[in-house]
Amino acid sequence: MTLQVELVSPEGILFEGEADMVIARTVGGGDIAFLTGHVSFVGTLAAGLVKILQPGNQSQLIATHRGFVSVSHDRVSILSDVAELSATIDVARAEAAKARAEEELRAHSDDDEARASLRRAEVRLQAARG
């Protein structure tokens, strides 16, 4: 038996299919893995990777930046404000965003927006590099 997974962002459905396991990072809870038979769950996504382990040893890595995850009756629904499949991430653009954020933090170490930008860039690079 497998999980039915749907990951949706404002751009549309990024992933829809079956999975043996889904791993997501939640605010205050760290990484959590969902398998078939998981109890119902609703949580807030942190900026991080969602890893979808599909049947046949395939996997999808998705960079997510805020959102929600819910699990009920072997169905995992992920709604993310911004999400990108690893294969679609522009690495050069993510590296440039990381460099800009690091520069801003060197100039203003208490800049929360620069810190958030740095985290988003790091997550995008993690997803792109697998």
Tell me the pLDDT tens digit for each residue of 84-107: 999 999 999 999 999 999 999 999
Domain 3-86: homologous superfamily in CATH: F0F1 ATP synthase delta/epsilon subunit, N-terminal (2.60.15.10)
Does the pLDDT at position 18 exceed 90? yes
**Domain-by-domain residue ranges, the chain?**
3-86, 89-129
Which pLDDT value is given to residue 42?
96
Residue 130 has pLDDT above 90, yes or no: no
Q: What is the pLDDT, as a whole number, of residue 29?
A: 80
Q: Count CB-CB contacts under 10 A for residue 54.
A: 18
- Tens digits of residue pLDDT in 19-76: 999 999 999 888 999 999 999 999 999 999 999 999 998 999 999 988 999 999 999 9
Closest CA to 11 of 58, 50, 64, 51: 64
